[in-house]
Structure 1
Amino acid sequence: MAQLYFEYGAMGSGKSIEILKVTHNYELQGREVLLMTPLVDDRYGVGKVTSRIGLSRTAQVIDPKEDLFATISAKQNPNLAAVLIDEAQFLTAAQVDQLAYVVDRLKLPVMTFGLKQDAFNQLFEGSKRLLEVADKLEEMKTICSFCGKKATTQLRIVNGKPQYSGQQVLIGGDSTYMPTCRYHWYHPIIEKIRTEE
């Protein structure tokens, strides 16, 4: 039975490597997947799903105004086994609803991967809607950069200092964000803040 999945976790929890693994496993069985990623995520180039360990795949780009139900309907064929979406936090609420329609009407499983909240501990629009409507939720875990406990969020670093306000979306890697537990999000150990990639 097709379902809408949302796998979420702090930065560095392995979301991109997981989506690449799932893609590989489907293809190993001779089944086709539609791998997609939002236009806004250009950290490794537009239309790229790239893990921190260096694995990468080209993906179809999702425009912020795109109707995902229409796009996926047009690509549907008997060999299409699943739709996989990286950086799902950047989807609009309407696009998440369109993915639910894909599951319910086209009977295709849709697996989404992304952050739950931003660097200010506020839900992203796409993540909020996924938490509301997804059939299956799974947290991917990583550890706090400061203490080794479970990381629940990410701390944004700008010019070597923690940032607690600003624009919600700031694309960046390991020099811009550090996974943290709640305590160390509020109380980072300044001398341990990374300042280089």
Structure 2
Amino acid sequence: MEKFTKLTAVAAPLPLTNVDTDMIIPARFLKTIKRTGLAEGLFYALRHDGDGKPVDFVLDRPAYKSAKILVAGANFGCGSSREHAPWALLDAGIRCVIAPSFADIFYNNCFKNGILPLVLPQDEVDKLLDDAERGANAVVTVDLETQTIHGPDGGSIAFEVDAFRKHCLLNGLDDIGLTLEKAPKIDGFEERQKIGQPWLYA
């Protein structure tokens, strides 16, 4: 998993509440277990009309093509527990989502996939949404180590994050990475077990 330390990037505004995981990535795009190629289906219903023709959507505008931060409304990621939702965001380059609240499963899945989901009070989210309306000038810095967000005007917002999840993101540790950190202890256990219970390895 890619480390998350400090991210300076364009922030895109998505001031919608109750964006569920089917809006993030519709079910018809879930036919793969690969984490790549999912950006095509990201927010598909918001990016296309009923005939599948592209409509004006914030992430398709030239100013936000390189956006890596998404500022959204409350209850982001509600609905089904599909892990493809954070996969699709990540495949599109989104590394941080800021909202007043998240659905629990989506929130947890973000951390496991290298995305930082930040919960902020509505008034601070509104300020960042206003900043994000500046297009290519909506450059925001999210510093995980100092737990601060710096806006384009130089203002600063502090945020809280669980210490263990912070450690995992700073070090690029997903569930597999956390297990591999204990590889010496696992190897030691297996060596002792081979001596005490050799029939298990016959």
TM-score by length of 1: 0.27
Higher strand share: 1
